[in-house]
Amino acid sequence: MGHFQPSEAVIRLGAFALIFVAMAVFELWSPRLERAEMAGALKARRWFTNVSVLVISSVLLRVIFPAAAVGTAMWAEARGYGLFRLAGLDPLMAGILSFFILDLAIWAEHVANHKIPILWRIHRMHHSDKGFDVTTALRFHPLEIVISMLWKAFVVILVGAPVLSVLLFEIVLNGSSMFNHANARLPRRLDALLRLVLVTPDMHRVHHSSHRPETDSNYGFNFPFWDRLFSTYRARPERGHEGMEIGLAEYRDDSPARLGWILALPFRPLRGVNRSSPENNADKARRTSPSP
C-alpha cells in the first residue's frame, strides 16, 4: 500500500490540476452568467476562500484518513473483503458495478446532507457561495470531506470495489464536479444531449438556486440517472438561469466570501429557511427573492 499511495496522489493531483485549468479557461472563453460575484475583486476573494478550503480539507483528510478511498480498496482487496469477492464476480464486471454503486452512494449522501439537519449545518457552507464557478466545486467544509470519505470507505469495503475502479471514480468525481460547477456556456442542443448521461453546468446550477424546491433537486455529480429515477430532476429554474438567485437567501452580504466565516458556519445557529417544512420554505424563498 505504501508503494502505491504516492503514485495515486500524483495521478489524482495531476488530473485535478489539468481539469481545473481547463474549466477555468472555458469559463473565461464562454461565460454563462455575468455577475458581480463572478468578476473583479469579489471573484478574487471567492477564489482565495474556496481554494483555501480545498487546501485545508486535503491536509486534514490526509492526517485523519491517510489511506483515503483508494488505500481502503487496497486494504480490503488484500483481505478478500467485499460482496463481489465473496460472490466470485469477474473483476471487470465488479469494477463497472462498483463505479455505478459509488456514484449512487454519493448521490444518496448528497440527499442526506440536505434532509438531515446536522448534516445540512455542514453542507450549507457549499450553498452559501453567491457565485457559481469552478471554485464552487472545491467549497466543501473539511468536516463534510471527512464524513464523505468515511461513507465512501464503508461502501468500498462492503462491495469489495476493485482498486482501479475506485481510483477512476475519484478522478471522474472530482473532474465532473468541476465541470458541472463551471460558469460555462454550452450550446443548448449539446447540453440537452449531454445531460442524458452526464450532469451539465446548467443542470447542476439549478441545485444552487435560493428557491427551496430548486435547491432540493438535481443532486447528482456524475450521472443524471438517479435524479430522474427518484423524481428529483428539474430541467431548469423557474426564473431562468439569468434571473435565478444563487446561494442561501439568508446570507446576502459579502460574508460567504470570507474564509473564517464559512469555516465557522456549521457552528452558527440555523436561520432563515426551515428545511423541515417544504411548504413554508417555498413561500419564504419566494418572498425573499428579488423581483424579476
pLDDT, tens only, 31-59 = 999 888 888 888 999 999 999 999 999 99
The per-residue pLDDT for 6 is 52
Inter-CA distances, 191 with 3, 13, 60, 144, Å: 41, 28, 36, 30
Q: Model confidence at 10, in pLDDT bands (50, 70, 90)?
A: confident
Res 224 pLDDT > 70:
yes
Inter-residue contact 163 to 74 (CB < 8 Å): yes
DSSP assignment of 233-289: --SS-TTHHHHPPBS-TT--SSGGG-HHHHHHGGGSPP-SS-TT-HHHHHHHHHHHS
Partnered with residue 184 across adjacent β-strands are 31
Grid cell listed for 250: 439568508
Partnered with residue 209 across adjacent β-strands are 246
CB neighbours of 51 closer than 8 A, spacing ≥ 6? Answer: 135, 138
The per-residue pLDDT for 271 is 64
Average pLDDT over residues 12-24: 95
The per-residue pLDDT for 136 is 97
Where do we find the cell 490526509? 62
Average pLDDT, the chain: 90
Where do we find the cell 465532473? 176
Reported as a single tens digit per residue, the pLDDT across 241-260 is: 999 999 999 998 899 999 99
Q: Give the Cα separation of 85 and 82 in Å (integer).
A: 5
Reported as a single tens digit per residue, the pLDDT across 122-160 is: 999 999 999 999 999 999 999 999 999 999 999 999 999
The per-residue pLDDT for 272 is 55
Inter-CA distances, 49 with 165, 177, 209, 271, Å: 32, 18, 21, 23
Res 286 pLDDT > 50:
no
Listed ranges 217-221, 250-254, 277-281; the one with the highest mean pLDDT: 217-221
Q: What angle do CA 3, 81, 13 make, to 5 degrees?
A: 35
Q: Which three-class secondary structure state does DSSP give residue 187?
A: coil
Q: pTM surpassing 0.95?
A: no
